[in-house]
Amino acid sequence: MTAGDLLQGGGPGPTGGRFSTMRTPAGAVPVDAPWWNRQRRSQMPSHRYTNVFDRVDVPLVDRDWPTRRLTAPPLWVPVDLRDGNQALAEPMDPERKRRFFELMVAMGYKEIEVGYPSASQTDYSFVRLLAESDLAPPDVTVVVFTPARRDLIERTVEAIRGVRNKVVIHMYTATAPTWRQTVLGHDRASLLDLILRGAGDVMSLAGDLDNVRFEFSPEVYNLTEPDYVLDVCNAVTTLWDATLDRPVILNLPATVEVATPNVYADQIEYTHKNLSRRESVILSVHPHNDRGTGIACAELAVLAGAQRVEGCILGNGERTGNVDLAVLALNLHAQGVDPMVDFSDIDEIRRTVEYCNRLETHPRHPYAGDLVHTAFSGTHQDAIKKGFAEHRARAQRTGLPEAELEWRVPYLPIDPADLGRNYDAVIRVNSQSGKGGIAYLFETEYGCSLPRRLQIDLARHVQAHTDATGAEVSAHDVMTIFEHAYLGNVPETIELVTLESVTHGNTTTGTRVTLRIHGAEVHGAFRGVGQVEAIIALLAEHDIPLDVVSLHQTSLATGSDSDALTLVEFRVGGRTRWVAGRSRSVLTATANAAIRAACTIADEITPRTRSLQSVGVTKAGPP
């Protein structure tokens, strides 16, 4: 592609071009804008939206959360089977629900929201399945979800009859002003009445069940007045008689994310510090991801006092999803904190979640995407390659297993092996890649480390290929390019006929060599030199100057076996070039490489030597 090709697409700007539907900002540059920022006012109708500070009061002034650290995981509560499931175009069938539940149990989750039994028969039946089978291990707490309506609470309590596990009945009501006015038609006082009637029904219907505890969510907590949140929550914990032995879960959802994460953290810390019966309350959060900051909200909320986090594995949920429990857990892992759930087979987790949700995972999804442990760029590849070499060397030096060793490989936040991935995809080669990545592919696939100057040379060949095709190359493609460049056909001007050592008793005294140059056989016997030197000497006698700069003997893994590979760097016409020889035996590989180099020279050097044959090369005796 040339610069001309790039320009042909038409430039940006209001005067035509490709994007005729767009309204390139053409308003004023703000008067206070610095000279290095020429952004113009746009026609986006941003004035239609109100900033969060005008929508809700955030009274916290002394913040503790900014100086805290995450040192332990919260109680994780996956809500995939309820909140996540409600967001699916095709909700999970019983088989999918069961598979997902078994996955969560296998991963080690101890509190799982299993459904909304008053809303769907599938959910109701699933809770009955838990009551009537041993699908849920005894130490797993089962959460069921219900609105604050007596008939629905009755149905919910009916669903959990006979469940031997600990059960949490989770009641929710939206409390934010817009919801009160527009959706529910209640003022603060009458909505509080409604909530307390529901809480009273929960208490009277299930309060005497020893295995049951209660959870309340003021839905849209993040847009609800902080003092009203406290009024409602305190009234509920009083009615439910929250105690240390039977704590109440207060779950504070960012039902629709509306603010930067620091605002949510302030809200959580304010509630945390001002709730009554705080020690008998398990403070929980339930972030969604509308602004793409669900993860940050959850992490800062834990700093601010939250003890429990509800979310979905890989972040399914209404709109942009619930906060992603996989990312939260692995973020802790990457900081040296045990997440207390297992992610050692991320691809099995991902397959199961994708099967149940019928949703695909983005290739760049943190930790789980196909591309997240892959580097295409040359500089990253070089660094990763060096990082792996250092890792291996340190393992050898310290005698520690590689999988136990402190991780320091650049550009890879965690060892893909922790997640059950191998290193196959770590380095992939395209037109952005450099010699490091190419050499890495060669090394991992064929067990062969190439000399640095050959890496540079090979990278040129690969680059020419990727520039021409625009496509990614595999290790196999790199090998094809390698073979073409260094093992490819050259005019067979020179052939090796025989090559043998001359021995005296047990001692090798020299080498005898026969070559066919332009069809004519020439012989030489050389005392005290090895085979390559003998070939070079005989070629020199016939005006073919093979000037070897370096010679590397290595091997190439071919399935269960390996071939000898000799790499020869030689000088021709004032520059250096590379050829290779490949064979079962090291000697043959080396001789082949030397002859291939000689053919290249013979093919390129002056007509004077091209006319060797006419000069009459018939005989060359030993010195």
**CB of residue 130 vs Zn ion: minimum separation in angstroms?**
22
Q: What is the CA radius of gyration of the chain?
A: 36
Minimum gap (Å) between residue 323 Cβ and Zn ion: 9
> Near Zn ion by CB under 5 A, which window of 51-59, 77-85, 421-429, 565-573?
77-85
Least distance to Zn ion, CB of residue 289, Å: 10
Which of 76, 77, 83, 499 lies at the binding interface for Zn ion (CB under 5 A)? 83
Instruction: Report the residue number, 318 or 533, with the smaller CB distance to Zn ion.
Output: 318
Per-residue CA distances from 147 to 154, 172, 240 (Å): 11, 5, 16
> Count of H helices and E strands in the chain?
21, 14
- Separation of alpha carbons 11 and 39, rounded Å: 17
The one-character DSSP state at 182 is I
Q: Roughly how many angstroms between the first and final C-alpha of the chain, as a whole number?
A: 58
Rounded distance between C-alpha atoms, residue 325 and residue 77, angstroms: 9
Burial class (CB in 10 A: 0-12, 13-18, 19+), 44: exposed
CB of 217 to Zn ion, least distance (A): 9
Residue with tokens 């020869």: 568
**Which of 76-84, 270-278, 380-388, 549-557 is the region at the interface with Zn ion (rule: CB under 5 A)?**
76-84
Least distance CB 145 / Zn ion (angstroms): 10
Nearer to Zn ion, 282 or 429 (CB): 282
**440 CB-near residues (< 8 Å, 6+ apart):** 381, 384, 385, 388, 426, 427
Q: Parallel, antiparallel, or unpaired: how do β-strands 167-174 and 141-147 relate?
A: parallel
Q: Which helix (H) or strand (E) holds 548?
A: strand 547-558
Of the listed pieces 21-29, 79-87, 175-183, 227-235, which binds Zn ion according to CB under 5 A? 79-87
Which CB, 83 or 569, lies closer to Zn ion?
A: 83
| Position closest to Zn ion via CB | 83
> Rounded distance, CA 237 to CA 202, Å?
12
Is the CB of 83 or the CB of 215 nearer to Zn ion? 83
Residues 6+ apart with CB under 8 A from 382: 434, 435, 436, 437
**Segments in 207-259 forming alpha helices (H):** 226-239
Q: By CB under 5 A, what part of segment 464-493 binds Zn ion? A: none
Q: Which of residues 372-411 bind Zn ion (CB under 5 A)?
A: none
Distance CA 351, CA 119 (A): 28
Structure-token match 């490489």, residue found: 593
Comparing CB distances to Zn ion, the nearer of 311 and 434 is: 311
Site for Zn ion in 493-512 (CB under 5 A): none
The residue type found at 585 is S
| Type and span of the H or E element at 201 | helix 188-206
AA letter at 194:
L
Mark the segment that binds Zn ion (CB under 5 A) among 75-83, 222-230, 273-281, 442-450.
Answer: 75-83
- AA letter at 601: I
Binding mask 152-171 for Zn ion (x = CB under 5 A): --------------------
Q: Examine residue 219 and tell whether it contacts Zn ion (CB under 5 A).
A: no
Q: Which CB sits closer to Zn ion, 85 or 141?
A: 85
Q: Looking at beta carbons only, is 83 or 563 nearer to Zn ion?
A: 83
- In terms of CB distance, is 104 or 439 closer to Zn ion? 104
User: Which range of residues in 82-90, 197-205, 356-364, 592-600 is near Zn ion by CB under 5 A?
Assistant: 82-90
Smallest distance, Å, CB 203 to Zn ion? 24
| Shortest Å distance, C-beta 201 to Zn ion | 23
CB of 113 or CB of 269, closer to Zn ion: 113
Q: What's the closest the beta carbon of residue 322 comes to Zn ion, in angstroms?
A: 6
Minimal distance, residue 81 CB to Zn ion, in Å = 13
Cβ neighbours, 10 Å, residue 601:
23
Q: Which is nearer to Zn ion, 115 or 378 (CB)?
A: 115
Q: How many residues bind to Zn ion according to rule CB under 5 A?
A: 1
d(CA 129, CA 339): 29
Identify which range of 78-86, 404-412, 453-461, 571-579 contacts Zn ion by CB under 5 A.
Answer: 78-86
Closer to Zn ion by CB, 315 or 437: give it.
Answer: 315
| Shortest Cβ 57–Zn ion spacing (Å) | 23
Q: Which region among 43-51, 83-91, 226-234, 478-486 touches Zn ion (by CB under 5 A)?
A: 83-91
Contacting Zn ion within 349-368 (CB under 5 A): none
Give least dist CB 55 to Zn ion, A.
19
Q: Which is nearer to Zn ion, 86 or 609 (CB)?
A: 86
Query: Among residues 294 and 436, whose Cβ is nearest to Zn ion?
Result: 294
Alpha-carbon gap, residue 433 to 380, rounded angstroms: 9
Tokens of 13: 């700007």
- Cβ contact 172:214 at 8 Å: no
CB of 166 to Zn ion, least distance (A): 22
351: tokens are: 């397959």
CB of 113: closest distance to Zn ion in angstroms?
10
Q: Copy the structure tokens of residue 375.
A: 């580097």
| Sequential DSSP letters for 261-298 | HHHHHHHHHHHHHH-TTGGGEEEEEEEB-TTS-HHHHH
Nearest distance, CB of residue 219 and Zn ion, angstroms: 8
Q: Name which of 318 and 370 has its Cβ closer to Zn ion.
A: 318
User: Quick one: which segment of 61-69, 80-88, 535-543, 599-607 binds Zn ion (CB under 5 A)?
Assistant: 80-88
Contact 606, 545 (CB under 8 A): no
Of 536, 566, 563, 530, nearest to 550 by C-alpha is: 566
Q: Are 473 and 376 in contact (CB under 8 A)?
A: no
d(CA 499, CA 14): 75
Instruction: Indicate the residue among 163 and 249 with the shorter CB distance to Zn ion.
Output: 249
**3-state secondary structure (DSSP) of residue 337:** coil
Least distance from C-beta 466 to Zn ion, angstroms?
A: 45
Measured in whole angstroms, the distance separating CA 34 from the mean position of its chain's CA atoms is: 38
CB of 382 to Zn ion, least distance (A): 44
Q: Which is nearer to Zn ion, 219 or 457 (CB)?
A: 219
DSSP letter at 322 equals: B
Q: Footprint of Zn ion on this chain (CB under 5 A)?
A: 83
